[in-house]
A and B are shown apart, each in its own frame.
Chain A
Amino acid sequence: MDLKLKIWRQANQNTKGELKDYAIKNVSADSSFLEMMDQLNEELITKGEEPVVFDHDCREGICGMCSLHINGEPHGPQNATTTCQLHMRKFKDGDTIYIEPWRSRAFPVIKDLSVDRNAFDRIIEAGGYVSVNTSGNTLDANAMPVPKADADEAFNSATCIGCGACVAACPNASAMLFVSAKVSQLSLLPQGKVEAKDRVLNMVNQMDLEGFGNCSNVGACAEECPKEISLENIARMNREYLGASLASSK
């Protein structure tokens, strides 16, 4: 198939970017979206032009590295799918495709379609962990009983790959779905309950410091999430935050 592409080109964080038009021919319907981008970049390199920078890593839909705001939606038109798992058969011959980076003050553009998502790492550093002694005397995991329902729910929350589509989709550029998934995956389990109060306070505080917007319960995040993280996580975090604020040890 032949396609027209409108791709965001931006040299670096300090320059202004713009949409540039590209035409690409003979794209296989069986190729993934990123393979289409590879094809474009090979053509650009052959012509001596600067290739388009975009993030990608595992290309198996599990690492959270690929992004791209495709035709007005994070990760494109297919639900519960990362960009790397999106196939060109979802598009028609002659289509015009807009490709933009995640847009958020907290995710500055590094170059073209690649954005700096270190804000997420700093939120994890603020509390997204459990402090366990790993010097040889750790408890056997099975020695700690966990109700099956809790384990399943924690696992569902833990499937968040931290791609940032929630922020990209949110009209407020809020990171609540990501942060709440990371709070939930730990606080639902006995190992994580110990530090639960400080964790939720510190992670929410860091989230605000990074400049993400406020949650107004629009729900676009959960709709666009490639891992279908649910809004229940946000409600759980709101509960925990309220409880921890009222009864914090500090």
Chain B
Amino acid sequence: MAITGLFLISFLIVHLLGNLQLLDLSVEGQEKFNAYAKFMTSFPLIKIISYVLYISILFHAIDGIVLVMQNRKARPERYKSWKPNTNSIWASRNMGLLGTIILAFIIMHMGQFWYQMHWGDIGVDSEGNKNLAAVVIKTYQDGSAGLIFVLLYVISMAAIAFHLWHGFASAFQTFGLNHKRYTPVIKKVGYGISVIIPLAYAIIPVYILMAKN
């Protein structure tokens, strides 16, 4: 969980930096994004990393499901009175639930953009690159469906925020890195990225929606 988790966080950062280009909605900006999307889906090294990424997502999800099932079996009879908030934070106890929300989002997100980019009939821009920018803009601006997709996106980012709030520092503990000097820093970095990354992501569809007309 820790190895794949940290790898997936590194993906979140790269993916975010690339897609922040969508904040430039001018024609040139869209064409720049389309050229970037073409590069990301055709450059061999990126392709190899993307396969590692798909495997990591699957492994992280399946391992998570196995762990949740084992952990439930470890306590067949539940407590009638149970006050977990006195000793731990909600996110740490609900990583499975948060992960499920995130997985559902990833499937929807890949269906909306990844699938369209690879196999959809989405047309090309003036440079001859597949016009993914137009697909993104349409998805988040298209009437009430657009509004719902923006809302789902923001909710999913909140789930990622809670998931990282516990997950980032937890990965280091799993590796055995717990040190009086470093652990407080790791925790602060974790809290920082768990707020900044999902927030920056959420800005993209909200901005596209607000830029309508």
Contacts and interface: CB of A to CB of B under 8 A. Distances in A.
Contact of B88 (A98, A219, A242): A219
Interface stretch (A41-49, A133-141, A210-218): A210-218
Contact of A171 (B71, B166, B178): B71
Contacts of A23: none
Interface string A206-240: 00000111101111100110000001101111111
Contact of B170 (A171, A212, A216, A220): A216
B92 interface: yes
B86 interface: yes
Contacts of B77: 17, 103
Contact of B79 (A72, A238, A239): A72
A216 B95 CA distance: 9
B51 interface: no
A218 B92 contact: yes
A73 interface: yes
Given A217-B170, A236-B176, A242-B175, A105 B73 contact: yes
Chain B's interface size range is: 20 to 34
Interface residues of A, number: 41
B76 interface: yes
Given A98-B80, A98-B81, A235-B176, A216 B71 contact: yes
Given A72-B82, A217-B173, A220-B84, A231 B178 contact: yes
A234 B176 CA distance: 7
A217 B92 contact: yes
Given A103-B78, A172-B71, A242-B175, A223 B92 contact: no
Contacts of A236: 176, 178
Nearest to A241: B176
Contacts of A73: 83, 86-87
Contact of B173 (A105, A169, A211, A231): A231
13 contacts: A69-B79, A104-B74, A105-B73, A105-B76, A106-B74, A169-B87, A216-B170, A217-B166, A217-B170, A218-B92, A234-B173, A234-B178, A238-B173
